[in-house]
Every structure is written in structure tokens, then in C-alpha cells.
Structure 1
Amino acid sequence: MTVTADEDLGSLIEGVVALPEDPDYLRCSPWNTAVEVAPRMVVFPRSASDVAATVRHAGAVGATVAVAATGHGALPVGPESILVHTGDMTDVAVDVLGRTARVGAGASWQHVLDAATPHGLAPLCGSAPSVGVVGFLTGGGIGPLVRTFGLSSDHVRSFEVVTGTGEILQVSPERHGDLFWGLRGGKATLGIVTAVEIDLPELPEFYGGAIYFDGDYAENVLRAWSQWCPGLPESVSTSVALLQAPDAPEAPPALAGRFVIAVRFAAVGDRGEALDLLTPIRAVAPALLDAVEVLPYAAIGAVHADPPHPMPVYEDHALLSGLPEEAVCELLRLAGPRAGSLQALVEVRQLGGAYARWPRQRSAFCHRDAAFAVTTIGIPVPELAEQVRGHAAAVLQALGPWSTGRQLPNFAPASDPSRLARCYDDDTLYQLAALAERYDPDGVLRAGQVARYVF
């Protein structure tokens, strides 16, 4: 059935269709409030069939389809697009004996943590449990335990996905293996994921959290951290953050309004070994707050303590081949406590370990050889937006001698083709674009972060 009027779509689906004048339309506002999201209409589906009907409708009316859940990785959406907002599809079904979960497209990691952790099972989420599961997994997924378990997308068993032609497919290594390869790393290129099945490692607790030091010790801490990282076993994942803590009620009193440097630490296995491994960092300087302890896995979000509430952010990102003394000096020069940094946070994550190894089922995720990932996050209030962006670029430019020239799909999201080209090697980008031509021949899903031919 061909539909030509947006208003008629509501008669074909169980979910809600919201036009700009409808109250439900405001629900499409993303977590990153700096991003303008103003589609021609918003569809809140309740099933894969609703999504498929929406995609077919978009093809009939000449619109593209964008997709969103929590909006952490939001990109601009304009009136040429219909936005599929999956926020009503939050079902989580845990198979305790099989140690798996089937997760709806709109679920956040907090939904999965709530369902799985009472059984001693550990969803391999990102640093913020409020992030959506599907967007995180289709970008690869780097969590607080990435060196131990590898990419979270390496633990995906299957997808349910709607293609650009409105077909609903069950995707696994055995069925539509080309899509299974591309959906793990290809973001929104190959379809709209409506459900995903993931493995759940057994891990009731871990030893981790963060140690916060006053910014006056930033040079000592950052230098010690960079020298400490190469000797760490795979049982440990860590990052360091130069952080301008907000002077706000939600900030711990010891940190509020201060420039601090935080060492994040998450270890599995023997607690005594983990204690010994962390001792050199604890000895560098007196801590303002030492929040590293044995934690239930349900508290995994405490490692990074990312802000839970919507806010405007501008993010930039690069991968590094190493972090030598010269790179540490450049970081401190531009983002240290006396640099007048315009970034709320500059973070460096150690990679390697299980992250660097290919899983049995290969994926479209690239750049497993990177040693570190650096991310800048600024608050682009109108009067400072350009300065924030310029300063972020300056930080990454200063690290240029150690940059691989590449990026990861889930960091600093953008639809710019040149940025996408940095997320993949040439062969992978070519294969993703070719698969998009096969599964979305009319370009209905060509909105947002999707691979295209750029050569």
C-alpha cells in the first residue's frame, strides 16, 4: 500500500506518530542538547513491524529516515527526515542459564544492568549506563573493562534489523553474515536495529572506581600514569581525565568547582593483585577522593561517573599510537591546570589487551592497533562555542605526532564523509558502502552517521 500523507502513517502502526505541532514531538530532544533535532515528524514505534512500515512510508514520500534512542550520540536531523525514536522499545529478557539477553532497540544499558546484575551477570556497557544499547554496539562499544573483555560488539550473538527496503531480517553469523559483519561497527549504515541478543559474562563484582587528585599534581599524576600503563595486565582497564569539576550540588564536595585529575581503574580477578597494581598511582600524590573499592557490577557507572542529565556538549577525538613524555607535556600545556583550558574534560583511555584481538566473528570495527584514545568534551554555550571547538582542535593538533590519523565511530559523532573515512580503513569503508547499496538501494536510511563512497 502506497501512502503519500504523513498523517496517514498513524493508521498503519501501533506506535505514536508526532508532527511538529503535537506534544509528543518534544520527546525527540536528544541528551546532547547542543544538537538541533527538528524532523518532519517523529515516530515512536512499538515493534519491528512499526519500524518497517515507517521505512516503507519514507520511501513512498521521498523522505530519509534517521534513528535515535537516548540521543547521546545525536546528530542534526532536519525536515527532510523522519525520525524513528525507539524510546518505547525497552524490553529486556535475560536468559540466566544461557547467560544472554535479548534487548529492545530503545533500551539503555541501565535497563540491562537492572535485569541482569541480580543474577551475577555483567552487561558490557559503556562508561555511562544511560547510553542506549544499540547505538553503542553498532559503533563497536568501548567500556570500562575493554582491555579484559574486548569490544562489547564482539559479544553480540544476533540482531533483528529493518533494512532500507522495509524488510525485517534476523541476522547472525549463519544468517545474513554480511550484515552481521557490518552492523558491528557500521553504526546506522545498514539498517535500523530493533533488537539485539548479547552474551552476559558472569561477573558479580569488580575492583574499581576512580582516584581524584588536585590539579596541582596533574603533571606528576599524568606522567606516572603514562609510565604505569605499559606494564598492566589485561585484567586491568584504565583511563585518566583532566577534569574541571562543576560547582554544583551533584558534584562531591571534595571536588566541586576544582580542576582535578582522575585516574579511573577497573580490575577483575585477584583483589590482592589489583591492590598491588594500583599502589604506584596511590603513592604519587595525596588524593582528594579515593573511590576505588570492591563494587557490585551494578555500580560499573561509578568508574567514570559521567553526568546523567541532558546537557550541551562538543566532543572531539583521536587515536594515538603511544603516549610518550613529549605527548604528556603537550597535553599539560594545552589542557593542564594552568592552561586556561576550555574543555570540561580531556580524557585518555588505554586500549590494547583484548581490545586489540580480532574475535572469532570479524566485524567492520577497525583500528584495533591503537594504544590510546583521547577525547575532549567542552560545553559549547553560545558565547564560547567557537572558542571551545577551536581549543579542542588545538589539543588534538598538538598530539598530532602521535596520532594515527584515525577515529572510532562512537566518539565525536558526525556525518561528515571525511570524518567517517577516518573511522574505517579503505577496504572496510568500501564494503560498508557496497552493502548499503544492496540493502538500502534508494538511500532511505542515508541520514546521519552512515558510510558512503568517498573516493
Structure 2
Amino acid sequence: MTDDLASRVAGPVLHPGDDGYADELAGFDLAVSQRPAVVVGATGAADVIAAVRYARDAGLAVGVQATGHGITVPADDALLITTRRADAVRVDPSDGTAWVDAGAIWSRVLHEAAPFGLAPLAGSAPAVGAVSYTLGGGIGVLGRRWGFSADHVHRLDVVTADGVPRRVTAQDHPDLFWALRGGGGNVGVVTGMQVGLVELAEVYGGGLFFAGEDAGVVLPAVVAACRDAPDEVSLSVAMVSFPDRPAAGPLRGRWSCWVRVTSSGTPARCEEVIAPVRAAATPFLDTVRTMPVTDLGTIHNDPVTPTATNSHSLTLRRVDADTVTALLRHARPDTPFVIEVRQLGGALGRPPAVPNAVGHRGAVATLYVTAYPHPTGPSASDGAAERALLADLAPWSDGGALVNFLAGAHVSTDDVRAAYEPDLWDRLVEIKTTWDPRNVFRINHNVPPVRQDAGVTPPSPARPASGSPR
């Protein structure tokens, strides 16, 4: 049967033991190992359609992997579609949009948009897949001014669980359009998306690196700066121990309180905002500068070398001096994970022009902890230390999370559910039950459908008229 699939797919079709199988599975996050029954290296929408139809007929679950960031569920005994070959990006400066294929990464979109003085709402790590990032909501360093990446989607091309390709917009299948923008890949495989761009050629930003021992004075200064910051300025702070290796340069072996700064406004206004932070202590390294928007990724400088990560998220409804005190109880040079607090608010807290499934817009900040291998050796963390930190910060939380910041085998349905308020979750479940009642798309941050054996018969999704892609 897979011979028939191979005849309908332009890319490779691989099985366990085949040459190239392991390489095709390779991605950034190594925390979750997986062994799919079949891997399809999709070159475009036609390959995705063929793969989903094959999985439908064979009774296989379907997973999708672009760069391999944020894996939570192994695609064991499933069909895994890899999309990195489908990486075309087309910018239309006449209407300020870009068409982004399923496997394109943000750095590619930044590069293609820059000659026109335009930029996408990319994430802090431009090596991440643009589509998967956006389906999870997408909170980037420009978000306080312009909102979530999901807020700027104009169109999605989707293959649903029945193997039908559909054009999805606010007018065409509005339920799918709502659910896909923030609800992840729970109701289909996105083969491409049209996103709005913003007019931006340069940003003012970088890092202020303080000794970790200075966090007690730096963090309160950051909290105060965030209260008065205009939407054009975004701040975050990370407590991190850098490896004792020559490649780390001036950061080598340093336990650091790292303040990240991004501004899409004037340097002078940004400097007014961060002046109290600069005055709190003396940074041992200052990289804040004017840079082309294509260098956006240097602000957070996220890792690009494949590694095992386990990440947790907690949205905070307020941050004050007591929050800082609680956080500092867990921040030490030997803490086996990175602690980041990222400022939200601004446009991230306002409803988009077209509603979507992104949750917890009322949060003022997000706590993100991720256990990379510790500089002194492989991380010994079993998650208990991270859970203790989250529990200590619970009084300042709304109980939520951001789904893009949940990664690793520990992520449960309850963790995913926490990323959505109850009304959003209930609507996601309803749409999932309509479009994917058998949970074909479950290799993800899964929203399970209503169980059919519970006596509920989901309605059938409307099929497009003959010849219509909708």
C-alpha cells in the first residue's frame, strides 16, 4: 500500500530501517524520540494531500514536523509529514503581505520582506517554523506593538482529516479559521498561509548582561520599567548560566541576569525606558544598538544546535516585588534550567480584528522555564524543581500558559487545556469534534474531540462543491 503512496508523492517516503529515515526525523528538540510507521517528506500541498488520504485509509494518526521545535508527543506508529522542503516565501509589497509555505522558517520571511521595508511578526528565534509558530499563537518581540502573529493571518490553505484541501479565511470556513489561529494543528495540516507584514526596517535592541548576583536590584528595576513602557518597547529578563566554553566569549561561565530589549520606536524613547535598569547595576556586557530587522534573532540569541529541552509556561496576571522575591528563591548558578519572564500587554492584551483561539490575553507577563543541558553537564532535572517554581508563583498567575512555550514529554492534556480559558477550550473541542472526530491529528498539543462512544455523534463537516478548493 505504501508503494502506491510513494507513486503519488514527489518527496521521499521512508520506513523504519530505510536509508535516510533517521535523518528525515532529525529536528531541533531531542527530548522526545519517535518512530513513525512512515515518514513523508512533503515538497508541497499535493504531497500533504496524498499523505493525509493514505493515513485516513490506513487508520493512522498524522503528525507534522517543520523544524522539530516544541515536540510533545512522539509520532510512534503514525504517519509523520516533514515540511522543510516546502519553504517558499513570496512577498507582495502592494498589499503588505507574504505567502509562507508550510516549512519556511522566520529568518527566510524576514530576509524576503526586508528589501521592501517590511517585516513579519517573527518570534524571538527566527530558526523556528513560521506556520507552526503562528498556529500556536506566536508571541514575538514585536508583539506588544502589533499583537500575536496569529492576529495577522489573512488566509490558510489546509488539508482536513478527510483529505480534502480547503481555503480557509474569515469568510470561508470561519470556524476552522478561528480554531487554527491559536489552536495549533488540531483540525488540519496547513500547507501555506498568507500573513500581514508591518512597515519596519530597523529595530533598537539587544541585551544588558548583569551578574546573576545583581538580580535582586535589576529585576525590580525591570518590573518598574515595564509598567511605564510604551507598546513599541518590549522587555524580558532571563536568569541563565552560560557554558564554560570559548565559544561563549565574554559570557563564558557566567551566571547572568540577562535583560533583553526590543524597540520598534526611537532609540531615545527606548533609552528613557531602560535608564533605571542601566542605573540599577553595572552590566558586564551591553549589546543594545540599532540593527536591521533581519538581525532580530540576535536579541534573544536562542540556541540553534539540536538539543533536548523540556519547557513549562505560566501566565502572570500581575508582577510585583513579592513576585520577584519568590522567583529569586529559585534562581541560582546551579539551577538546572533557564528562567525567563517576558513582558506581555500592549497589543497582546487587546482583541484582534478577527477573533481567534489565542488565550490569556489579559496576562501582563509570561514565565517560561526550559531545561537545556546544564553547563556543568547533562541536566539532572526531573521537572520537580520547575514545578516547585511554578507552584511558588501560582498566587500571581491566572492559572494559564502559552501553548508555544510547552515542550517535552511531560506536557499533558491538562497543560494544554491551561493555555485556553474555559470558553475557548469548549469551542476548540466542539470544532475538533466536527472536523476531526477520530483525532487523526493528535501528534501535537492535542485538543481531544468528544468521545463518540459517549453517545455523541459529531456533525459531518460540509464538503466543498466539486472543483472548489474551499
TM-score, reference length from structure 2: 0.91
Give the whole-Å Cα distance in 1 for the aligned partners of 2:259 and 2:378.
28
User: Alignment partner for residue 110 of structure 1, among 96, 107, 111?
Assistant: 107
1:41 aligns with 2:38: yes
Give the whole-Å Cα distance in 2 for the aligned partners of 1:315 and 1:175.
35
| Equivalent residue number for residue 359 of structure 1 | 352
Q: Between Structure 1 and Structure 2, how many residues are aligned?
A: 446
1:124 aligns with 2:117: no
User: Alignment partner for residue 422 of structure 2, among 419, 423, 426?
Assistant: 426
Query: What is the CA distance between 1:419 and its match in structure 2?
Result: 1.3
Secondary structure (helix, strand or coil) at the match of 2:250 reads coil
Deviations 1:253-296 (A, max 9, x none): 22111100111111122222122222111111111110001111
User: Alignment partner for residue 318 of structure 1, among 314, 317, 341?
Assistant: 314
Contact 1:209–1:303, Cα closer than 8 Å, also in 2: yes
Give the whole-Å Cα distance in 2 for the aligned partners of 1:113 and 1:194.
19
1:341 aligns with 2:313: no
Secondary structure (helix, strand or coil) at the match of 1:142 reads coil
Secondary structure (helix, strand or coil) at the match of 1:15 reads coil
1:410 aligns with 2:404: yes
Cα distance change on mapping 1:79 and 1:412 into 2, 3 Å: closer
1:436 aligns with 2:432: yes
Query: What is the CA distance between 1:408 and its match in structure 2?
Result: 1.1
User: Alignment partner for residue 395 of structure 2, among 401, 412, 415?
Assistant: 401
User: Alignment partner for residue 12 of structure 1, among 8, 21, 33?
Assistant: 8
Deviations 1:144-184 (A, max 9, x none): 11111111111111100100000100111111111111110
Give the whole-Å Cα distance in 1 for the aligned partners of 2:271 and 2:440.
53
Q: Which moved more, 1:322-331 or 1:75-84?
A: 75-84
Q: What runs of 5+ residues in structure 2 fail to find an aligned partner?
A: 452-470
Counterpart of 1:397, as a letter, is A
Query: What is the CA distance between 1:23 and its match in structure 2?
Result: 2.4
Secondary structure (helix, strand or coil) at the match of 2:190 reads strand
| Equivalent residue number for residue 368 of structure 2 | 375
Query: What is the CA distance between 1:386 and its match in structure 2?
Result: 6.0
| Equivalent residue number for residue 75 of structure 1 | 72
User: Alignment partner for residue 228 of structure 1, among 218, 225, 228?
Assistant: 225
Query: What is the CA distance between 1:69 and its match in structure 2?
Result: 0.3
Contact 1:417–1:454, Cα closer than 8 Å, also in 2: no
| Equivalent residue number for residue 192 of structure 1 | 189
1:280 aligns with 2:273: no
Counterpart of 1:375, as a letter, is Y
| Equivalent residue number for residue 134 of structure 2 | 137
| Equivalent residue number for residue 81 of structure 2 | 84
Secondary structure (helix, strand or coil) at the match of 2:369 reads strand
Deviations 1:161-218 (A, max 9, x none): 1000001001111111111111100111110000000111110001111111111211
- Aligned alpha-carbon RMSD (Å): 1.7
1:300 aligns with 2:296: yes
1:100 aligns with 2:94: no
| Equivalent residue number for residue 389 of structure 1 | 383
Secondary structure (helix, strand or coil) at the match of 1:393 reads helix
Contact 2:223–2:319, Cα closer than 8 Å, also in 1: yes
Query: What is the CA distance between 1:446 and its match in structure 2?
Result: 2.8
Give the whole-Å Cα distance in 2 for the aligned partners of 1:435 and 1:352.
28
Contact 1:421–1:454, Cα closer than 8 Å, also in 2: no
Contact 1:224–1:281, Cα closer than 8 Å, also in 2: yes
Give the whole-Å Cα distance in 1 for the aligned partners of 2:203 and 2:174.
34
Give the whole-Å Cα distance in 2 for the aligned partners of 1:356 and 1:424.
14
Give the whole-Å Cα distance in 1 for the aligned partners of 2:149 and 2:226.
22
Counterpart of 1:74, as a letter, is I
Give the whole-Å Cα distance in 2 for the aligned partners of 1:454 and 1:176.
21
Query: What is the CA distance between 1:361 and its match in structure 2?
Result: 0.1
The 5 A counterparts of 1:234-245 are 234-245=231-242
Q: Which moved more, 1:445-454 or 1:264-273?
A: 445-454
The 5 A counterparts of 1:145-160 are 145-160=142-157
Q: What runs of 5+ residues in structure 1 fail to find an aligned partner?
A: none
Give the whole-Å Cα distance in 1 for the aligned partners of 2:413 and 2:274.
41
| Equivalent residue number for residue 454 of structure 2 | none
Counterpart of 2:310, as a letter, is Y
Give the whole-Å Cα distance in 1 for the aligned partners of 2:318 and 2:180.
29
User: Alignment partner for residue 327 of structure 2, among 315, 328, 331?
Assistant: 331
1:211 aligns with 2:208: yes
Secondary structure (helix, strand or coil) at the match of 1:153 reads helix
Query: What is the CA distance between 1:328 and its match in structure 2?
Result: 0.6
Query: What is the CA distance between 1:110 and its match in structure 2?
Result: 1.1
Query: What is the CA distance between 1:399 and its match in structure 2?
Result: 0.7
Secondary structure (helix, strand or coil) at the match of 1:374 reads strand
Cα distance change on mapping 1:93 and 1:25 into 2, 3 Å: same
**Identical aligned residues as a percent:** 38
Secondary structure (helix, strand or coil) at the match of 2:247 reads coil
1:65 aligns with 2:58: no
Counterpart of 2:347, as a letter, is A
Give the whole-Å Cα distance in 2 for the aligned partners of 1:295 and 1:432.
40
Contact 1:210–1:264, Cα closer than 8 Å, also in 2: yes
Secondary structure (helix, strand or coil) at the match of 2:433 reads helix
Contact 1:321–1:402, Cα closer than 8 Å, also in 2: yes
Query: What is the CA distance between 1:135 and its match in structure 2?
Result: 0.8
| Equivalent residue number for residue 246 of structure 1 | 243
Give the whole-Å Cα distance in 2 for the aligned partners of 1:230 and 1:217.
21
Give the whole-Å Cα distance in 1 for the aligned partners of 2:29 and 2:381.
19
Query: What is the CA distance between 1:78 and its match in structure 2?
Result: 3.8
Give the whole-Å Cα distance in 2 for the aligned partners of 1:454 and 1:285.
54
1:289 aligns with 2:285: yes
Give the whole-Å Cα distance in 1 for the aligned partners of 2:216 and 2:449.
44
Query: What is the CA distance between 1:380 and its match in structure 2?
Result: 5.6
Give the whole-Å Cα distance in 1 for the aligned partners of 2:107 and 2:416.
29
Query: What is the CA distance between 1:106 and its match in structure 2?
Result: 0.4
Secondary structure (helix, strand or coil) at the match of 1:355 reads helix
